Amino acid sequence: VIQAVFFGICVLTDLSSLLTKGNDSQEQERQLKKLIALRDWVMAVLAFPVGVFVVTMFWSIYIYDRELVYPKLLDNFIPAWLNHGMHTTVLPFVLIEMRTTHHQYPSRSCGLAAVCTFAVGYILWVCWIHHVTGVWVYPLLEHLSQGVKIIFFAAVTVIINIFYLVGEVLNNYIWDTQK
């Protein structure tokens, strides 16, 4: 969903840029700048770190034991192409976007705070779903003790923050910028 929203914003930004080209309207220019800032923020804080996290974690766990993250039963409901759409194509598309469009990253402290907020919010949502339904969204969590879950959730938050930093460094390297 994050990737679909992000790339929707990208399309909207590109269309708005094309439609306002040559127009002297300061209001349209101001709105376009806001849209570009939103696009850049979503890329920096959500699309890149979460996208890279999903691909690396999903396929690492899948290779180790697919039942922990994507039980064979799901093959009956979710076709292979859709699985790859959710867990594979995210990475090349987000890397292509990073290579073709310069993104202005927020300050490091604001970016890391936003990534942490998202990670903690998502973890709380996963725990809430378990609380209400008695079923873990990710079967892996069924096999972890309470203490190990806390360590796992903390590690996940740290890893997503590392991916944020990797995205910032990669963006600066590709576009040869320095802070």
Q: What percent of the chain has pLDDT over 90?
A: 84
Count the helix, strand and coil residues of the chain and give each as a percent rounded to the nearest 5.
80, 0, 20
pLDDT score recorded for residue 150: 97
pLDDT score recorded for residue 135: 95
DSSP H or E segment with residue 116: helix 108-133
pTM: 0.89
- Average pLDDT over the chain, rounded to an integer: 93
Q: What is the mean pLDDT of residues 24-51?
A: 93
Interval 112-163: pLDDT, tens: 999 999 999 999 999 999 999 999 999 999 999 999 999 999 999 999 999 9
pLDDT score recorded for residue 177: 65
Q: Which two tokens stand for residue 7?
A: 């790339």
